[in-house]
Chain A
């Protein structure tokens, strides 16, 4: 699913780009195309996120990038009130979640929890990912956000 309408947080926050060596480029390019790609070793099937040039389990180089379903459970969360960036000065509270993806090696991802920023958040709740495109940014980029599954 991709999000239409305004982005969860206002424009002006740091824009994610791949490292000069390109390690995470497939991940960020995948998000642009509504695809969630993470590493999986083709030799030992170990899942790995964030990316690295080597499989931490069997030491095979260049783990494959594999598309996965963006579904998981809230592993932890926070509601941020203090603006640590000028872009957030007028914004008010927002929620960040750490989502665990049990079906893919329990890897975890950080995103925002869509919806009411004052909602009660329950650790263990099921969430689904939604692609948030920042097409007017320079450079353009996309994020993966999360919403509660009913």
Chain B
């Protein structure tokens, strides 16, 4: 038997007490440099929490964010820096891992007030969707780029095609995911695609980027920044916002998921087979307890896989489960990407999804789900390491 209080878990030990973001822009449209965007988002999160930014004693991010922790601490004049954590690899797959790492810093006593953030100005540093200016290439990409498998759409389409083949998933299932994101974005004034609704005909008529992805199956490319503030649970109760407690988080992938090029044994997968089990074990909940999901859409096909791997349906049931009615707030059984997500709010590399899960737990989303006490975030699918997290209200502890 473990000693009382010695259980190794993040469950209920930390809470999100502030969220903030910049205005979200199309790529290249930000008037501010990337580092300034990071500062603005962090200050907004501190203002939301009602804390002095000088109290921040740690920073956590992912995907090699260029806004470095020591520069942030110096620029903000924080009194002390006690943790600086970068999730290693996986790009947007690290959006939940960055929160987990920050939480672990707090639970272990390394730090007391940690900001988790992502700042990304693709207009200033190069778009993820373009690959010009590379003369020679080594490693994984050497086996792909000379064949025109260049940017993320081409790198992930064959995974999704194989999954559709193995489980009979139809284009309509992916379309429903895009339609749900766009539907929710119409209620969200922050969303880049606010005022630009999508309907089935417009989806069907949109150009192929790479089969099986239409234009609207692919995330946007944007400029902006988003941040949250994490503190120990005992402090969260004294602050002004309703705390969103971390119920659990998990990071990683299964056996040889990193085998390049495209040699992962479990190829037709979003890489959550092990990660979802770890999350549910720590959080002590299952898929039936979850009322609302934010799932990272690099591509809609990855969301299909990720939701199945988190136990919401069997892969063979994907066509029946994934309908616009089922995926939209307030009354669908599983409202999905209620801010518009990467497809229609902003591609803040998935961090906008973490903020939206906090809003759902607070009850302040522009598309509030009927059941929102337990909110799931699934980070970037089909990459390694992947990550996910669950937030809950005080009642769920």
Show the binding face of A for B, using Cβ within 8 Å: 9, 13-20, 24, 28, 49-50, 56, 75-82, 84-86, 88, 93-94, 96, 98, 107-112, 123, 139, 141, 143
Contact = CB atoms under 8 A, between A and B. Distances in A.
Given A94-B148, A110-B262, A112-B147, A78 B157 contact: yes
B151 interface: yes
Contacts of B141: 14
B298 to A, nearest CB: 14
Contacts of A85: 130-132, 148, 150
B136 interface: yes
Contact of B261 (A19, A88, A110): A110
A113 to B, nearest CB: 10
Given A78-B161, A85-B130, A110 B138 contact: no
Contacts of A123: 161-162, 165
Interface stretch (B51-59, B117-125, B205-213, B312-320): B205-213
A13 B153 CA distance: 17
18 contacts: A9-B146, A14-B131, A17-B138, A24-B139, A49-B263, A50-B260, A75-B267, A78-B154, A78-B158, A78-B161, A78-B210, A84-B154, A85-B131, A96-B149, A98-B162, A108-B261, A108-B263, A110-B144
Top 3 closest pairs, chain A to chain B, by CB: A16-B142, A84-B151, A78-B157
Interface in B193-208: 207-208
Contacts of B165: 76, 123
Given A76-B159, A79-B210, A80-B210, A15 B136 contact: yes
A82 B137 contact: no
Interface residues of B, number: 43
B210 A13 contact: no
Nearest to B161: A76
B136 A17 contact: yes
B140 interface: yes
A24 B142 contact: yes
Given A14-B136, A16-B136, A81 B154 contact: no
B193 to A, nearest CB: 19
B154 A96 contact: yes
A16 B130 CA distance: 18
Contacts of A18: 138
A141 B145 CA distance: 13
B138 A19 contact: yes
B162 to A, nearest CB: 4
B6 interface: no
Nearest to A105: B263
Contacts of B161: 76-78, 123
Contacts of B129: 84
A149 B141 CA distance: 27
A106 to B, nearest CB: 9
Contact of B148 (A16, A76, A88): A88
Contacts of A111: 147
Nearest to A49: B263
A111 B158 CA distance: 12
Interface string B204-229: 00011111100000000000000000
B146 A16 contact: yes
Given A80-B210, A84-B153, A16 B137 contact: yes
Contacts of B143: 16, 50, 109-110
Given A80-B154, A88-B148, 20 more contacts: A9-B146, A13-B146, A16-B145, A17-B137, A17-B138, A50-B143, A50-B261, A56-B256, A76-B159, A76-B267, A77-B161, A78-B157, A78-B161, A79-B208, A84-B131, A84-B151, A85-B150, A86-B132, A93-B208, A123-B162
